[in-house]
Amino acid sequence: MLTLQFVPHREIEGLDSIHRVNKLLKIVKEEKIILLEGRLKSHEETDLISKTMEEIDNKFKGIELSAINPESSETKDVWQKLRSMFINMVLGDRGGFTIIGPASIIKDIKKDPNKIQLFTEESPKR
Amino acid sequence: MAGIFTRLLGKFFRNLFKKKKQVKLGLYGPPNGGKTTLANKICKDWLGEEMGSVSNISHETREIQIKEEITIKSKGRELTFNLVDTPGIATKIDYEEFIKEGLKEKEAKSRAKEATKGVIDSIKWLDDMDVVIVVLDASKDPYTQVNITIIGNLEARDIPVLLVGNKVDLKKADIKKVQSAFPQYEVIGISAKYGNNLDDFYEALFRVTD
């Protein structure tokens, strides 16, 4: 059985980067797939990868991660970019969503600008 | 935002008090994209010697490797840099994959341990780079989060980037797909293994370090 846990942005917006990463990784290590509202900052993504590497052992193999932002920058004009920047400054990076899951369950995530596909293991390792 | 600001401020002060002798040119990308093959080609072309070992088994490069004072020349111009070859960045490392690729269990576990440390080191070194060549395997899907994360971090740090689509000698290679995934960058298609299009690559290197 797959468990998908929705994490609204308000649950992480008050946390600093270290605590955000720790919170997300803790959920993933419980073998749940996170659907996070919004995106992590780019340095938080690398922090998440570094922390994941520290935690890898014979049981925990790492994570699969994918962020989707329907308002990708190349489709925007200057006004739309300014509007997005203002919204991000006020509300944080709430646009789009991020999927993070344990590599033992998610085999691969494929995406192109318009769709995202999750390939899971047939029988998750317990 | 505060994190990025702190990093940029740190870099500014480091550079202020450190006499910068040469450009630090980093090779970044996912595992098995051909970073070390390209590093070897650059070193062979301009120093006459190779830099590191390559293998079909992923995570062959598990430590940062540096070759100092490489000078490339083209059309009367010279560019001197320290070349930094980094371990491939990945979000997962499974020692069982190495066993499938032919390693013994003990060897596979040790390789996995070293590979995780290598990824952490690669990320730590991002702050020290002056210019980065992101080496992608042009025969694979470019829309991976690792690629996006690496490029996003370089953008946030304001580090100039040259995108290389390697392995154009392979039938499945699709440079247009790499270009459409990252339209804000110039993508140079090369084969580091066979030396295809290296002249264009060196020209692009001059442009990006300008």
In a domain, B14, yes or no: no
**Are the C-beta atoms of residues B62 and B117 closer than 8 Å to each other?**
yes
pLDDT score, position B145: 92
pTM for the full predicted model: 0.85
Following CA atoms B207, B190, A49, A71 in sequence, which dihedral angle do they give, to the nearest 10 degrees? 70
Q: Which residues of B touch A109 (CB under 8 A)?
A: 145
pLDDT score, position A82: 72
**Are the C-beta atoms of residues A109 and A116 closer than 8 Å to each other?**
yes
Encoded tokens for B69? 């004072």
Instruction: Give the residue carrying structure tokens 């052992």.
Output: A57
B→A interface, C-beta within 8 Å:
1, 3-4, 7, 89-95, 109, 112, 116-117, 119-120, 123-124, 126, 141, 143, 145-146, 148-149, 152-153, 155-156, 183-184
Task: Give, in order, the Cα–Cα distances in Å from B72 to each of A98, B69, B134, B199.
Answer: 42, 10, 19, 11
In a domain, B10, yes or no: no
How much is the ipTM here?
A: 0.85
pLDDT score, position B19: 47
Residue stretches of chain B with pLDDT short of 70: 1-21
pLDDT tens digits, one per residue of A36-90: 999 999 999 999 999 999 999 988 999 999 988 765 555 556 677 677 667 666 6
Give every CB contact of residue A108 below 8 A, 6+ residues apart in sequence: A64, A118, A119
Q: Which residues of A touch B152 (CB under 8 A)?
A: 42, 45
Which of the four pLDDT bands, split at 50, 70 and 90, describes residue A102?
Answer: very high
**Are the C-beta atoms of residues A37 and A9 closer than 8 Å to each other?**
yes
Task: Give, in order, the Cα–Cα distances in Å from B11 to each of A37, B14, B143.
Answer: 32, 5, 30
In a domain, B143, yes or no: yes
In a domain, B20, yes or no: no
What φ, ψ does residue B136 adopt, rounded to 5°? -115, 150
pLDDT tens digits, one per residue of A7-40: 999 999 889 999 999 999 999 999 999 999 999 9
Whats the size of chain A, residue-wise? 126
In a domain, B202, yes or no: yes
Cβ contact (<8 Å) for B119 and A53?
Answer: yes
Cβ contact (<8 Å) for A65 and B116?
Answer: no
| Interior angle at CA A15, CA A14 and CA A20, nearest 5 | 135
**What is the residue range of B129's domain?**
26-209
Q: Which residues of B touch A66 (CB under 8 A)?
A: 145
For residue B151, count CB atoms less than 10 angstroms from its CB and return exposed for 0-12, middle for 13-18, buried for 19 or more.
Answer: buried
In a domain, B150, yes or no: yes
pLDDT score, position B6: 65
Specify the CATH number for the domain of residue B43: 3.40.50.300
What φ, ψ does residue A97 adopt, rounded to 5°? -150, 165
